[in-house]
A and B are shown apart, each in its own frame.
Chain A
Amino acid sequence: MSFLQHDVPISWYLFLSAVLFSLGVVGFLIKRNLITVFMSIELMLNAVNLSFVAFAYQWHEVRGQIFVFFVMMVAAAEAAVGLAIIIAVFRARSTLAVDRIDLMKL
């Protein structure tokens, strides 16, 4: 524990969080498979979670950690609903490529 507290500055955690978040954004933008896009979103959420936890530890605040639980809860619900939608979409269109799912186009 002392290793965390004394040797790793907070900026490292934040840097890692930023990298993970950016990876999520890039994946979200460039991947074609809907499931990959979905995973990218999860990645972004967890990147934010990491920064929450880091700040909470830094400032001895429990609320940041509680917030992480909320985010995980929402992410779990989102995963349930999102995967259900993905399955429904696949059944209907036999594809998961986001470029082909464009029925709402004008």
Chain B
Amino acid sequence: MNESAHLWLIPLFPFLGFLLNGILGSRLPRRLVSAIGVLAPLVSLVVVLGDFGATVISAASSCPTCGQVTALALPASESLSYPWLAIGALHVDFTFVLDQLSAVMLLVVTGVGFLIHVYSVGYMKDEPGYARYFSFLNLFLFFMSVLVLAGNFLLMFVGWEGVGLASYLLIGFYFSRTSAADAGKKAFIVNRIGDFGFLIGIFLVLTTFSTLSFSKIAALLAVSPDWHGPVLTVICLCLLVGAAGKSAQLPLYVWLPDAMEGPTPVSALIHAATMVTAGVYMIARTHLLFDRSPVALWTVAIVGAATALFAATIGLVQNDIKRVLAYSTISQLGYMFMACGVAAYSAAIFHLVMHAFFKALLFLAAGSVIHAMGGEQDLRRMGGLRTKMPVTFWTMTAAVVAIAGFPPFAGFFSKDPILYAAFLQGTGGKLLWLVGLITALLTSFYMFRLWYLAFFGEPRSEVKHHHSTQLSMLVPLVILGILSVCGGWIGIERFSAYLAPVAAAHRPLPTGNPFLEAILSIVAVLVALEGWLIADKYYRRKPERPAAIAAALPTGYKVLLNKYYVDEIYGALIVKPLLAFSKFGLGGVDILLAGVAWLFAGIASITGMILQRWQSGNLRSYAAWLAAGAAAVLIFVLLSNGWLHLGFAVGWKGWPLR
């Protein structure tokens, strides 16, 4: 226990921002709204940085020669002073835990979150609902930090649902557009399926361990190191369903592309950098359970690899700039799942952090492009923006190169450890590695395709205005650009060493050799280069070729363009039958129930109509009824029992005698 971290401050400030802007925002001047909205994550970021710095100091002081004072021993946990639930043996507290894992995650959430808030000030400048936007964004940060800091499953679930709510509200920010409102509903409903799995998992954890606290579960698991109950597999698979819903993995990914209906900074913050990585975070947080179940781990890996490849193929042909990025996000999340599946949790978290940098940057840069094009999102109508938006171009280039995985950019340092860790996992692992490699090729191709289409060639439509020249939009781009370039230099070794206390795999990883690692890295870079060259060939040198290929393979192209018809299949298999069932419910069951209800209501009102005649308001008629009633009781008693039994008839035993 360490009470010096003031962890409760981290969620508090975004919540205050939410309250202020949500209640008073529409009456406040915009400058004040922006100040509140931006300061809230900034203060949280400062608190997190303070705590993080303290953890680094304490890590440094673990060597006795350094002689530094341990400022904050990790994990630091704080409980609010009163218990939340105490039902029988179940005790759940508001416990916040700051360990290495949540510290890293909080840095990403508040850091990238702060940058995106700053960017939003410029991006949303002319939008109605400005205060509403910032209050929702702050609400999201509040719930996200609760999710990350949560010391038990239930509190995590609160944050989990809360970010889902914020996501719903922000996807449907332009609620007057039907497509946006529908996308919000879709995200919420698909997430509900995942949350169902998560909730079942939590219940199973409760019945198995009779506690929900992560640290207590870890202690219980440590007591019996050889226990591998099948119930663990079931728990992990349920948790995986939850993670797949939140992190947009197969088969629950369908909501994320539609979520692009929200404002672009929201896509950057919620649907790329932070919220969608909550599933990865949850698996890393509960990895002690996953470590005990090889089946569940393999399922995670397979889901991740399949999603990575599947989404990347769809990303190849999409023409909406944000949809390309959305499928890219799904694909990269697949990488993280794959890393979790081969028990390389620190690699997964490392990729999560790097991905937060470059994918947030990609979205923000795309937002600049869209703004400059006056809301145009179709890549085919862009082009030639390189000279018109130099800052956006160069930062976007950094992000594209980073995601493609070229050294020395961030993606290279985080993608390679994942592929390497997969390669070391036997034959199945080699297959995962191959899938990851193909995905890397596709990723490189579609990112450079986007790059060429947007920034090179002849302008295909007019640039409307230059919003990107605003400082509040440029500064976050540049900072994220620097992070995308340099972020990876931390290196996976140092990162794993830092995360080792919380994210080291239970079973020892097979050790490889540096030579093999170098070979694999070179292969990965070559593959990425190949992707670039193909994109270069088709979209710079021979821009007529893609159309020719599409014409030559009409079926394949159409299938990809229509995203494998997954939405249509889900619609036919799930949504339509469900709607039909609901209609049947409305038509059959509802009318039946309504009929019964009407029957009772009719009886009651007819009886009332008759009985209300009694209520004449005439005192003497009341008196007459009173007397008649008394007489009737008297006669009844007389006839049935006679005088002597009067007392006994009403159960009266007479006065108690002394």
Q: Contact residues of A with B, CB < 8 Å?
A: 25, 28-30, 32, 37, 63, 98-99, 101-106
Contacts and interface: CB of A to CB of B under 8 A. Distances in A.
B616 A29 contact: no
Contacts of A30: 620
Contacts of B624: 29
A102 B616 CA distance: 8
A105 B620 contact: no
Nearest to B620: A98
Contacts of B616: 102, 105-106
B398 to A, nearest CB: 82
B617 A105 contact: yes
Interface in B613-646: 615-620, 623-624, 627
B618 A28 contact: no
Given A63-B655, A106-B612, A28 B623 contact: yes
Nearest to B614: A106
6 contacts: A28-B623, A98-B618, A98-B619, A98-B620, A105-B616, A105-B618
A99 B618 CA distance: 6
Nearest to B655: A63
A25 B627 contact: yes
Given A105-B615, A105-B618, 19 more contacts: A28-B627, A29-B620, A29-B627, A30-B620, A32-B620, A37-B619, A37-B623, A98-B620, A101-B619, A102-B616, A102-B618, A102-B619, A103-B617, A105-B616, A105-B617, A106-B612, A106-B615, A106-B616, A106-B617
A37 B619 CA distance: 10
Contacts of A98: 618-620
Contacts of A37: 619, 623
Contacts of A105: 615-618
Interface in B578-630: 612, 615-620, 623-624, 627
A32 B616 CA distance: 16
B612 A29 contact: no
B617 A104 contact: yes
Nearest to B631: A25
Contacts of A101: 619
Contacts of A99: 618-620
Interface residues of B, number: 11
Contacts of A29: 620, 623-624, 627
Best-buried of B616, B617, B620 by chain A (most CB within 10 Å): B620
Contacts of A104: 615, 617
A63 B619 CA distance: 35
Contacts of B617: 102-106
Nearest to B615: A106
A7 B612 CA distance: 54
Contacts of A106: 612, 615-617
B188 to A, nearest CB: 51
Contacts of B619: 37, 98-99, 101-102
Nearest to A61: B655
A31 B620 CA distance: 9
Nearest to A40: B623
A74 B615 CA distance: 28
B524 to A, nearest CB: 88
A106 B616 CA distance: 7
A19 B94 CA distance: 77
A47 to B, nearest CB: 14
B632 to A, nearest CB: 14
B652 to A, nearest CB: 15
A102 B617 CA distance: 5
A84 B263 CA distance: 73
A28 B618 CA distance: 13
A63 B658 CA distance: 12
A28 B655 CA distance: 31
Contacts of A63: 655
Nearest to B616: A105
A98 B622 CA distance: 11
Best-buried of A29, A63, A101 by chain B (most CB within 10 Å): A29
A15 to B, nearest CB: 14
Interface string B278-314: 0000000000000000000000000000000000000
Q: Which 9 A-B pairs have the closest CB atoms?
A: A105-B617, A102-B617, A98-B619, A104-B617, A102-B618, A28-B623, A29-B623, A98-B620, A25-B627
Nearest to A34: B619
Contacts of B612: 106
Contacts of A25: 627
Contacts of B615: 104-106
Contacts of A103: 617
A45 to B, nearest CB: 14
A99 B616 CA distance: 11
A74 B414 CA distance: 91
Contacts of B627: 25, 28-29
A28 to B, nearest CB: 5
A25 B620 CA distance: 11
Contacts of B618: 98-99, 102, 105
B612 to A, nearest CB: 6
A4 B416 CA distance: 119
Interface string B248-292: 000000000000000000000000000000000000000000000
B610 to A, nearest CB: 12
A101 B617 CA distance: 8
B634 to A, nearest CB: 12
A101 B616 CA distance: 11
Contacts of A102: 616-619
Nearest to B619: A98
B370 to A, nearest CB: 68
B319 to A, nearest CB: 72
Nearest to B626: A28
A98 B615 CA distance: 15
Best-buried of B616, B617, B623, B655 by chain A (most CB within 10 Å): B623
Nearest to A98: B619
A28 B626 CA distance: 11
A93 to B, nearest CB: 13
A106 to B, nearest CB: 6
Contacts of B620: 29-30, 32, 98-99
Interface in B366-418: none
A104 B618 CA distance: 8
Interface string B436-468: 000000000000000000000000000000000
A88 B616 CA distance: 22
A24 B627 CA distance: 11
A103 B619 CA distance: 11
Contacts of B623: 28-29, 37
Nearest to B624: A29
Nearest to A63: B655
A41 to B, nearest CB: 10
Best-buried of A28, A37, A101 by chain B (most CB within 10 Å): A28
